[in-house]
């Protein structure tokens, strides 16, 4: 079982005023739930755990866009740092895939996948809620018979809607709330926010499509 940092259901988070948040989002957010620095610290450790387990395998790192792009880039930077500062190193190539299933704050049951032309052994993802997106992607990847597939997700949501799917590596387990920031979006907004925050109800209306 993957270990993770648990954010409790009654986690109060941090006041917005204590952090730097873009002016245009100031009235849309409730609390900072995971500050950017903590994301980075946890990601650094995930990189170490992954490299320990990967042995000498060549890694094809597959980024699940758009929400996974920040996590992917930062995770790969830490993996690169390990690769260039230790006696053991593994070649790393990258690929990108785009999936879309959400409208407003709800899953639409329809997972669209675009792109990706190589097999993956490591897949970097933003958040697993029901697990449906990842299960769809995994069944697509299995058609290419990869040697090994490992899934890394920064966040996993504790929710009764979960299918029970768990990634191989997990950054944080988070409460059942809609989270934005660090590339996680609400109808494409809030990717340009460094910290992971809870969206307020007023903002859900404001950015609704």
CB of 4 to Mg ion, least distance (A): 21
By CB under 6 A, residue 183 contacts ligand IMP: no
3-state SS assignment for residue 124: strand
Q: Of 19-27, 37-45, 50-58, 175-183, which segment contacts ligand IMP by CB under 6 A?
A: 175-183
CB of 67 to Mg ion, least distance (A): 5
By CB under 6 A, residue 28 contacts ligand IMP: no
CA–CA distance, 116 with 52 (Å, rounded to integer) = 26
Determine phi and psi for 140, rounding to 5 degrees.
-65, -45
Question: Quick one: which of 42, 83, 89, 101 contacts ligand IMP (CB under 6 A)?
Answer: 101
For ligand IMP, give the closer residue by CB, 88 or 202: 202
By CB under 6 A, residue 133 contacts ligand IMP: yes
By CB under 6 A, residue 184 contacts ligand IMP: yes
For ligand IMP, give the closer residue by CB, 90 or 175: 175
Residue 16 partner contact from Mg ion, ligand IMP, none using kind-dependent CB cut-offs of 5 to 8 Å: none
By CB under 6 A, residue 200 contacts ligand IMP: no
How far, CA to CA in Å, does 170 sit from each of 64, 68, 89, 90, 108? 15, 13, 23, 22, 24
| The 196-199 sheet, strands edge to edge | 29-34, 196-199, 179-180
Could you tell me which of 109, 116, 128 has the C-alpha nearest to residue 166?
128
Question: Quick one: which of 4, 126, 137, 166 contacts ligand IMP (CB under 6 A)?
Answer: 126
By CB under 5 A, residue 105 contacts Mg ion: no
Q: Which long-range contacts (CB under 8 A, 24 or more apart) does 191-194 make?
A: 191/66, 191/67, 191/70, 192/22, 193/21, 193/22, 193/25, 193/29, 194/20, 194/36
| Site for ligand IMP, rule CB under 6 A | 67, 101-102, 107, 126-133, 178-180, 184
| Site for Mg ion, rule CB under 5 A | 102, 185
């Amino acid at each position: 079982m993957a270990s993770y940092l648990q954010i409790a259901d009654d986690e109060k988070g941090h006041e917005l005023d204590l952090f730097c948040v873009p002016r245009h989002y100031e009235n849309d957010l409730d609390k900072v739930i995971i500050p950017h620095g903590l994301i980075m610290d946890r990601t650094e450790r995930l990189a170490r755990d992954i490299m320990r387990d990967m042995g000498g395998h060549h890694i094809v790192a597959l980024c699940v866009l758009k929400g996974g792009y920040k996590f992917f880039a930062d995770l790969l930077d830490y993996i690169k740092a390990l690769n260039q500062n230790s006696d053991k190193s593994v070649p790393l190539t990258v690929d990108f895939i785009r999936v879309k299933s959400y409208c407003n704050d709800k899953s639409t049951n329809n997972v669209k996948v675009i792109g990706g032309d190589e097999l993956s052994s490591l897949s970097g993802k933003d958040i697993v809620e029901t697990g449906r997106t990842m299960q769809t992607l995994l069944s697509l990847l299995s058609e290419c018979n990869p040697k090994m597939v490992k899934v890394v997700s920064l966040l996993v949501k504790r929710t009764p809607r979960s299918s029970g799917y768990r990634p191989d590596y997990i950054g944080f387990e988070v409460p059942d709330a809609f989270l934005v920031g660090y590339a996680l979006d609400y109808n494409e907004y809030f990717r340009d926010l460094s910290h992971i925050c809870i969206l307020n109800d007023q903002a859900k209306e404001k950015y609704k499509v």
